[in-house]
């Protein structure tokens, strides 16, 4: 079964890419060493083959949110907004190991190395939550397969198909956001400002003296080779004052998210749909302090049929799924999670 979710972000999305990057004030990424440049955290991209408009297919970078990030978003929503309230209503509690396993797939990085029994496979794969995500000490295979979140863009058409071509956009969808942090001690302007600081003005003077010494030492290294100087400007102490940048996907982009489930039960589909109804309470990727990642769902398509309304997933096509998960939640206990999380090595 496939579920397609059409999303529009209403604040920028910041899914950080690993690696070391720099940017100049004019927006040049990775300018030559020795040039004035500042640390940059880039947006996550995937290289895809796309028609670039000149009649030739080329490999191009496409901003995405990785499938693992979206899978964890769905997982957290199911647990926080659906399963945990159901367990609390029964005054049921999870051990710390079972809680960690529910959220992370296992409570340690050391699986048992032995397969599950046939009875455990049958029981756990039928569980509304555990059967979807699998994992555990015996690495049970889950039914849930979560794709990356792709922007509906000219460069993604080979991946998402032509069904959403009317929503497709062209051109760049990322921008550089600059951030500046000032040293609050350097902003002190009167004795009253230092009155709340232990040590008062003397503590502030000591702080500034230490900062000046660090700055002087850093300038002394500027005579070294350009690459060493550039390295020192980023790795050595520079106080609280900083100027850097990060790359985001702009607000207003439409995205497609595909969820596939291998021979699911009705309660498992019901749990996914319940989580989708709660999903917009969460944020996609990082930058939460800046309110990044806020979004709305514009459509949910269940095996080719739209089941989304302004109030969430509804309609005759979904009634049996919601009935099934309601019944499953009524009978859900913490013992199922404890059994799943228990290591065979400790038995």
Task: Show me where the domains of the chain are located.
Answer: 183-240
pLDDT of residue 344: 67
In total, the chain counts a number of residues equal to: 347
Question: Residue 99: is its pLDDT beyond 50?
Answer: yes
User: pLDDT-derived band of residue 42, with 50, 70 and 90 as boundaries?
Assistant: very high
97-125: average pLDDT: 81
Taking only the tens place, the pLDDT of each residue in 157-203 is: 999 998 888 899 999 999 999 987 776 777 777 777 777 777 788 88
Structural contact between residues 340 and 334, judged by C-beta atoms closer than 8 angstroms: no
Q: Are 255 and 148 in contact (CB under 8 A)?
A: no
Chain centre to alpha carbon of residue 87: 26
pTM of the model: 0.83
Query: Given a cut of 50, is residue 236 above it in pLDDT?
Result: no
CB 270 within 8 A of CB 325: yes
> 142 Cβ partners below 8 Å, 6+ apart?
131, 132, 133, 134, 135
Predicted local confidence at residue 215, as pLDDT: 66
Whether residue 235 is predicted with pLDDT greater than 50 in this model: the reply is no
């Amino acid at each position: 079964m496939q579920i397609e979710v059409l999303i529009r972000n209403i604040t920028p999305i910041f899914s950080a890419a690993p690696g070391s990057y720099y940017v100049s004030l004019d927006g040049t990424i990775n300018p030559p060493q020795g040039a004035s440049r500042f640390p940059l955290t880039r947006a996550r991209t995937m290289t895809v083959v796309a028609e670039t408009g000149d009649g030739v297919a080329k490999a191009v970078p496409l901003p995405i949110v990785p499938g693992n990030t979206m899978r964890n978003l769905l997982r957290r929503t199911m647990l926080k907004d659906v399963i945990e309230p159901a367990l609390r209503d029964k005054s049921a509690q999870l051990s710390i190991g079972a809680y960690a396993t529910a959220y992370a797939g296992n409570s340690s990085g050391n699986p048992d190395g032995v397969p599950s029994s046939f009875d455990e496979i049958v029981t756990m794969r039928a569980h509304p939550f555990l059967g979807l995500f699998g994992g555990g000490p015996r690495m049970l295979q889950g039914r849930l397969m979560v794709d990356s979140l792709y922007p509906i863009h000219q460069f993604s058409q080979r991946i998402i198909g032509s069904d959403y071509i009317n929503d497709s956009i062209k051109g760049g969808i990322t921008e550089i956001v600059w951030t500046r942090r000032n040293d609050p001690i350097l902003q002190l302007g009167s004795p009253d400002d230092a009155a709340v600081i232990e040590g008062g003005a003397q503590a502030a003077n000591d702080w500034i003296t230490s900062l000046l010494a660090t700055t002087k030492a850093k300038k002394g290294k500027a005579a070294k080779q350009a690459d060493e100087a550039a390295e020192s400007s980023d790795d050595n102490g520079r106080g609280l004052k900083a100027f850097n940048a990060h790359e985001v996907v702009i607000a207003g982009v439409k995205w497609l998210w595909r969820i596939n489930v291998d021979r699911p039960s009705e309660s498992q589909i019901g749990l996914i749909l319940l989580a989708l109804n709660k999903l917009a309470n969460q944020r996609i990727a990082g930058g939460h302090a800046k309110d990044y990642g806020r979004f709305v769902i514009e459509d949910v398509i269940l095996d080719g049929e739209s089941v989304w309304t302004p109030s969430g997933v509804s309609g005759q096509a979904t009634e049996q799924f919601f009935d099934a998960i309601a019944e499953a939640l009524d009978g859900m206990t913490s013992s199922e999670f404890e059994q799943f999380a228990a290591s065979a090595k400790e038995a």
